[in-house]
Amino acid sequence: MHKSSITAGKVVQYIFLVLFFIVLVGPIVWQIALAFKGPNDNIYAVPPYFLPKDFTWGNFTKALATIPVLRYVLNSAIVALISVCGNVIGASFAGYALARLKFKGKGLATMVVFAAMMIPVETVIISQFLIIRDMDLQNTLLAAALPGLIQPINIMLMMNAFRGIPDEMEEAAKVDGANVWQRFFNICVPQVKGTTTVVAIFSFVGAWNDFLWPLIVLGDDSQYTLTVGLNKLRGTFYSDPRLIAAGTVLALIPIVIFFLIFQRYFFRGVEAGGIKG
């Protein structure tokens, strides 16, 4: 009796798992199949069918020929790389100072970072644009990366990580004559590798997927990041969903591979930085 109720529960559990799987992964898989459907496939068939009957790679070549997807990928990669470097370096340095150094004005500095963390980016985005315009940087990839270069939330994450290092480790290094920079690079940075990886990954994905800011600051086609460029797909290929599908599949591949490699850090990051919804 007892045992059979467990198996019944398991069956129900797996039914729900498969249902959720279809709902959450299905649309992506459907899009991939659509990208391979040729001109002789009826993509509007009722009832719909999944596997391409007229299999073709042509949608990809056509999408690539019409929209410089690879250029956009490169632009996004540059912006993401700048963002990763800025956040990892800037947030580590600042986090260390706020967590482990004593100095005048520390309370004020912490408050500034904290206040900045509370400001939703949409509410200052126009002023951010005005500053970029004053710097005469609009339409550059640097501008696309700048406001998110060192995110307050990342400073906070690094600060918490550095706080977790036992004082004895740094004390011992001090006695051995290590100065603050040596202690930072040789003792403390290696201790917070996990959080640093989380910061790096979330900066990468954040910059890669950012849409509103690059949409505002990049006006020139050649500077478009992937999200802004792909948004144009809808206008350009509205009549042919196969090409939209091909474009989205091309854009999906890098980020999905990236996710599969680093997935455990993704999960850790979500747990660590709840606020970054």
Partner 1 sequence: MIGWCNEMTSMSKDATVAEVEANASAPAGVSSSRKGAKGGKRNKHDASEVSKDRKIASNGSLAPWLFLLPAMVVVIVFFIIPFFNTLRLSFTNATLLNPGHFIGLDNFRKMFEDDHVKTALLNSSLYVVCIVPCMVFFPLILAALVSGKGKIMGFFRTSFYMPVVVSTVIVGLIWTNLLDDRGLINSIFKSFHWITKSIPFLTDRWLLLFSAMIVTIWTGLGYYMVIYLSALANVDPSLYEAAELDGCGPISRFFHVTMPGVRSTMVLIMLLSSIAAFRVFNEVYVLTGGTAGVGGQDMTMSILIKREGTGLQARTGYTGAISMLMFVILGTLIAIEYIIQRKADKDA
Q: How far apart are CA 200 and CA 190, in angstroms?
A: 15
Residue 271 binds partner 1, judged by CB under 8 A? yes
Q: Which residue number, 194 or 241, has a Cβ lying nearer to partner 1?
A: 241
Residue 267 binds partner 1, judged by CB under 8 A? yes
In the block, residue with structure tokens 């918490």: 160
Return the residue of 11, 211, 221, 222 that touches partner 1, per CB under 8 A.
211
**Stretch 153-192: interaction string toward partner 1, x if CB under 8 A:** --x------------------xx-xxxxxx-x--------
Cα angle 218, 221, 223 (rounded to 5 degrees) comes to 55
Residue 72 binds partner 1, judged by CB under 8 A? no
Q: What share of the chain is helix, strand, coil (3-state, %, to 5)?
A: 75, 0, 25
- Interface stretch with partner 1, choices 59-67, 189-197, 253-261 (CB under 8 A): 253-261
Of 12-41, binders to partner 1 (CB under 8 A) are 12-13, 16-17, 20-21, 23-25, 27-28, 30-31, 34
Q: Which residues touch 52 (CB under 8 Å, ≥6 apart)?
A: 33, 36, 37, 38, 41
Residue 80 binds partner 1, judged by CB under 8 A? no
Residue 103 Cβ vs partner 1, minimum distance, rounded to whole Å = 4
Residue 263 binds partner 1, judged by CB under 8 A? yes
Considering CB under 8 A, how many residues would be counted as binding partner 1? 102
- Interface stretch with partner 1, choices 57-65, 67-75, 150-158, 190-198 (CB under 8 A): 150-158
Return the residue of 55, 57, 185, 259 that touches partner 1, per CB under 8 A.
259
Residue 97 binds partner 1, judged by CB under 8 A? yes
The b-or-e profile of 65-81 (16+ CB within 10 A means b, else e) is eebebeebbebbbbbbe
Of 217-246, binders to partner 1 (CB under 8 A) are 226-227, 230-231, 233-235, 241, 244-245
Q: How far apart are CA 123 and CA 132, in angstroms?
A: 16
Residue 179 Cβ vs partner 1, minimum distance, rounded to whole Å = 5
Of 110-149, binders to partner 1 (CB under 8 A) are 112-113, 115-116, 118-120, 122-131, 146-147, 149
Q: How far apart are CA 132 and CA 86, in angstroms?
A: 17
Q: How far apart are CA 142 and CA 129, in angstroms?
A: 13
If 0-12 CB within 10 Å is exposed, 13-18 middle and 19+ buried, where does residue 43 land?
A: middle
